[in-house]
Amino acid sequence: MPSSTPSPATRCQRLKAASHRDHDSVDTLVMAARPFADRERYGRFLQVQHRFHGSLLGLYHDAQLNDWLPGLQELSRFAALEGDFQDLALPLPATPAPVQVEAAQALGWLYCSEGSNLGAAFLFKQTQQLALDASFGARHLAAHPHGRALHWRAFVEQVDGLALQREEEAQAVAGAIAAFDHYRSHLRAVFGEECNG
Ligand code: HEM
């Protein structure tokens, strides 16, 4: 019998396995964009974040998704992000068009967005070189009051605990991949060639 790699046990592990390549390419593009080289570049990074988190605002406030994931609406970092624009006296971009997807697919988008809080620990540290912090300019990258790990584990537990149909599982995976794809396209739109390494 041919040996095969067992599929990961939990939903979030499967989302991670299906999207880790996309994550790594986004991570590489962000670093190539040098968003912490100076405040001008950081301002552009804020625009990328605004496009992404702004387009997810509707999902964070969606009634069915809040039913599935109680407390979801408190997790959006969009208000903190707008605070960062104000701190730095940057003009606020228009709120982006909302992502319109079915609930199962939205789980993948939210997985991508919430998981980005983990890598944000690294990004948050880098903002120190621009003299920014949790109360000025880097609010949206700051840790959740209960800590990043605890908060992430609680989100993962909620997502893993949902009962989904087989086709909904596939939609969640497609959602995570689409979310990384969108993030990549925002990076390219804002930084152009500069984030292509
Ligand atoms: C330079 C940019 C980035 C770096 C260095 C980075 C780094 C990391 C690291 C180190 C982790 C694992 C943390 C841990 O397990 O404790 C992580 C997790 C994650 N990151 Fe990033 N990240 C970056 C950007 C992003 C972006 C832009 C997104 C989404 C748009 C994202 C989405 C995720 C997700 C979903 C996870 C959770 C993976 C899982 O455990 O299921 N990351 N990141």
Q: Is the pLDDT of residue 102 over 70?
A: yes
The verdict on residue 1 lying in a domain is: no
Give one word for 34, left, alpha or beta, with left for phi > 0 and alpha for psi -120 to 50.
left
Within a domain: residue 84?
yes
Domain coverage including residue 106: 11-195
The number of angstroms, rounded, from the C-alpha of 16 to the middle of its chain's C-alpha atoms is 13
Dihedral of CA atoms 44, 49, 50, 54 in degrees, nearest 10, equals 160
Q: Please indicate, yes or no, if residue 6 is contained in any of the structural domains.
A: no
Q: How far does residue 185's CA lie from ligand 1's centre (Å)?
A: 17
Q: Please check whether residue 24 lies inside any domain of the structure.
A: yes
Residue 92, domain member (yes or no): yes
Helix (H, G, I), strand (E, B) or coil at 137: strand
pLDDT in tens, 168-197: 999 999 999 999 999 999 999 999 988 775
Is 181 among the domain residues? yes
Nearest CA residue ID for atom 32, ligand 1: 116
* Measured distance CA(14)–CA(179) in Å, rounded: 15
| CATH assignment at residue 35 | 1.20.910.10
Q: Calculate how far, in angstroms, residue 143's C-alpha sits from the geometric centre of ligand 1.
A: 14
Question: How many domains is the chain built from?
Answer: 1
- Please work out whether the CB of residue 35 comes within 6 Å of at least one atom of ligand 1: no
Q: 31-41 in b/e burial notation, b at 16+ Cβ within 10 A?
A: eebbbbeeeeb
Q: Is residue 23 in contact with ligand 1, taking CB distance under 6 Å?
A: yes
User: What tens digit of pLDDT does each residue of 113-151 get?
Assistant: 999 999 999 999 999 999 999 999 999 999 988 889 999
